[in-house]
Chain A
Amino acid sequence: MQKFERLESVAAPLDMANVDTDQIIPARFLWRTRSDGYGHLLFNDLRTSQDGESKPEFVLNLPAYQAANILVADRNFGCGSSREHAVWALMDAGIRVVIAPSFGDIFFNNSFKNGLLPIMLPQARCAELRAALARNPGAKLAVDLEAQTVTGSMRVSEAFGADRFDIDPFRKQLLLSGMDDITFTLSQADDIAAFEQRYARELPWV
């Protein structure tokens, strides 16, 4: 897993609620393997028209946001299917942070497993951030995982200030170290074996 410590980057505002994983990566691409790469397919149907033409109005097609590694979205981002391809597509397209008022639970979990940081900020604050980013195309945000802060760059600092965000300490630790949780869990093998013995005694039919 890619570790995550700190990132300063152009942030793109995505003004849509309930962006489901079918929007992030349509089902027809899911047979591809991880190594095939998904970056060019991110938001495929929002980004391109039926006949493959790029839609100039879609935010990530605008020149100012080409270098964006941060996305500021609306409520319930990543709802829907459990497809981890949604996280892969974001990562492969260079997105390392998504800020939103709320996330689909499975998407949220999947993000951490791949080194994508999902940050929850209040709904009104996310709306403010999106509006400020739309007014200042190409403006940057800085995300510091250790300090748990999102700050605005010099160019727009007044508009942004600093936001603190919450994160589950265990996930934070894994992200900061880049440690993958299978390795970590396998180090608890004794606990697992002891549990399984007890479980088999208590629920022998399972």
Chain B
Amino acid sequence: MTPARAAAPATLFDKIWARHTIVERPDGATLLHVARHLVHDGSRAGFRTLQERGLRLRHPERTYGTPDHYVSSTSRALEAISEPHRREMVSALSANAKQHGITLFDLGDVRQGIAHVVGPEQGITQPGLLLVCGDSHTATHGALGALAFGIGASEVAHVMATQALWQTRPKSMRVSVNGALGTGVTPKDVILAIIASIGAAGGVGHVIEYAGSVFRAMSVEGRLTVCNMSIEAGARAGMVAPDETSYAYLKGRPYAPQGAMWERALAYWRSLPSDAGAVFDREVSLDAAAIEPMVTWGTSPEDAVAVTGAVPDPAEAASAERREAMTRTLAYMGLAPGMAIEAIKVDRVFIGSCTNARIEDLRSAAMVAKGRKARIPAMVVAGSGLVKAQAEAEGLHRVFLDAGFEWREPGCSMCVGMNGDLVAPGERCASTSNRNFVGRQGRGARTHLVSPAMAAAAAVSGHMTDVRVLMAGGA
């Protein structure tokens, strides 16, 4: 780095990128060091490649694993995974972890859970580090000021063999949300509003930094929800500058630095926030006061509107192509143009996933469920064994069970249905997960993305409901 460039104001992203650059080729390709690598039960192909090529894992001590996609939500016993191919995905992770000497939070360990819940919870995710995982929602970890992004199976094998990764420098984008959020408006609504505003491809090729008073005031858990869905905005990664909230969250976590090392780490972390005057390739801003509880009506996360709104009319689409796509989407979703969002009847509710299965999410859903009864099947799947234990210590499981919700074992579950927790064809699900793609929760499944509070409101009313009305004591 030339002195002139070092002196220029840098972004949070710039600083982490520079710190992890091993080699930068004249053509721009950059070899980056990977400080933390997370693996899960879908990482089998990476281990296979390693095996086939006779390579060793270069840094087992920087690699952490937990099974999440294929685990049963009804039991912690491996045998509970009745389908042999799925069971094999989970057992292969145990075998590979043992063979390569990786730290594994396996089934039966209370620390097991969704990789993106476990990383921050254990303090594995830290500010200023480059973290990758063979899963697109790795962007989640940026909430603690890490540069974190998802990679494919070939890249997983590459990281295993070299602890490094070739990347081309992405562009930077700052999304500022200032002002105060209204009651009943959650981090999930903020990110859905951002995606609705910039589009599902709005962040392609960019790393987003979320800035402004809303994120400064937000808890780490809320920031995790926001960064999680950066990928749904098309971005490579999302991040929030570390601050006192982040340090307080990390302090004392099992894999966070301790003692004198904590002080050294803290000094580094404090140097990370974007310098005043740092330039972003793109700037977007939203007004917090204008954000309402959001609901998606279509099959792309950008198809989101306020719960007080209506299903849009393809006749008003900007182009013929868009009109055709919207018509196709509404047919799949079984919705009519102009229909009020609150008139949408829901068949089932899923509260879980790496977006919304942390303790604050469960508290928020429980507050709505408390003293009410679910009118449709609803399930709650904690993001990790520790989240589940905490919820039980607080009595939240009682609230859910009394309200007729199911209380399941941690994992990805119905977010993607790879463990068999599927939404039936044609069934409509209010889900706290991150993707409403065609067939995402099962073939023919209709997904509406909402916050945990909104999901609970749908469960107790049987249709999309403005949670603010329930909170005010109505209905």
Contacts of B44 in A (CB 8 A): 33
Q: Is there contact, CB below 8 Å, between A22 and B27? A: no
Q: Is there contact, CB below 8 Å, between A23 and B257? A: no
Name the interface residues of B19-64: CB closer than 8 Å to any CB of A: 19-20, 22-23, 25, 27-29, 31, 33, 35, 42, 44-45, 48, 53, 55, 62
Assuming the A-B contacts A113-B155, A181-B158, are A22 and B438 also in contact, with contact meaning beta carbons closer than 8 angstroms in the complex? yes
* Chain B 291-324 near chain A by CB (<8 Å), digits 1 or 0: 0000000001000000000000000000001000
Contacts of B153 in A (CB 8 A): 83-84, 110
Stretch at the interface among A2-10, A61-69, A97-105, A141-149: A97-105
Report if A151 contacts B (CB, 8 A). no
Assuming the A-B contacts A18-B200, A185-B164, are A82 and B88 also in contact, with contact meaning beta carbons closer than 8 angstroms in the complex? no
Count A interface residues, CB 8 Å. Answer: 57
Contacts of B154 in A (CB 8 A): 84, 110, 113-114
Name the interface residues of B182-240: CB closer than 8 Å to any CB of A: 200-201, 204-205, 231, 234-236
Contacts of A185 in B (CB 8 A): 31, 158, 161-162, 164, 166
Contacts of B45 in A (CB 8 A): 33-34, 84
CA distance A70 to B25 in the complex (A): 31
Contacts of B231 in A (CB 8 A): 80
Q: Is there contact, CB below 8 Å, between B136 and A50? A: no
Q: Is there contact, CB below 8 Å, between A192 and B151? A: no
Least CB separation from B324: chain A residue: A15
Report if B152 contacts A (CB, 8 A). yes
Q: Is there contact, CB below 8 Å, between A191 and B152? A: no
Query: In the complex, which of the residues B22, B135, B200, B439 contacts A82, with contact meaning CB atoms closer than 8 Å?
Result: B135
CA distance A76 to B234 in the complex (A): 8
Report if B85 contacts A (CB, 8 A). yes
Report if A94 contacts B (CB, 8 A). no
Name the interface residues of A15-50: CB closer than 8 Å to any CB of B: 15-18, 20, 22-23, 26-28, 30-34, 45, 50
* Chain B 312-355 near chain A by CB (<8 Å), digits 1 or 0: 00000000010001000000000000000000000000000000
Report if A203 contacts B (CB, 8 A). yes
CA distance A137 to B418 in the complex (A): 37
Report if A140 contacts B (CB, 8 A). no
Query: In the complex, which of the residues B27, B129, B161, B425 contacts A206, with contact meaning CB atoms closer than 8 Å?
Result: B129
CA distance A191 to B438 in the complex (A): 45
Q: Is there contact, CB below 8 Å, between B33 and A195? A: yes
Contacts of A20 in B (CB 8 A): 435, 437
Contacts of B151 in A (CB 8 A): 82, 106, 109
* Chain A 178-198 near chain B by CB (<8 Å), digits 1 or 0: 000110011010011001100
Query: In the complex, which of the residues B164, B234, B265, B268 contacts A192, with contact meaning CB atoms closer than 8 Å?
Result: B164
Name the interface residues of A154-206: CB closer than 8 Å to any CB of B: 168-171, 181-182, 185-186, 188, 191-192, 195-196, 199, 202-206
CA distance A195 to B204 in the complex (A): 30
Contacts of A50 in B (CB 8 A): 425, 443-444
Q: Is there contact, CB below 8 Å, between A81 and B136? A: yes
Report if B380 contacts A (CB, 8 A). no
Most buried by A among B88, B161, B231, B265: B231
Tell me the A residues contacting B by CB distance below 8 Å: 15-18, 20, 22-23, 26-28, 30-34, 45, 50, 74-76, 79-84, 87, 102-107, 109-110, 113-114, 127, 168-171, 181-182, 185-186, 188, 191-192, 195-196, 199, 202-206
| 7 A-B residue pairs with CB within 8 Å | A22-B438, A33-B44, A76-B200, A80-B231, A109-B155, A182-B55, A192-B164
Other than A82-B151, A102-B205, give 4 A-B pairs with Cβ distance below 8 A.
Answer: A28-B418, A30-B42, A110-B152, A170-B25
Tell me the B residues contacting A by CB distance below 8 Å: 19-20, 22-23, 25, 27-29, 31, 33, 35, 42, 44-45, 48, 53, 55, 62, 70, 85-86, 88-89, 126, 128-129, 134-136, 149-155, 157-158, 161-164, 166, 168, 170, 200-201, 204-205, 231, 234-236, 257, 261-262, 264-265, 268, 300, 321, 325, 416-418, 425, 435, 437-440, 443-444
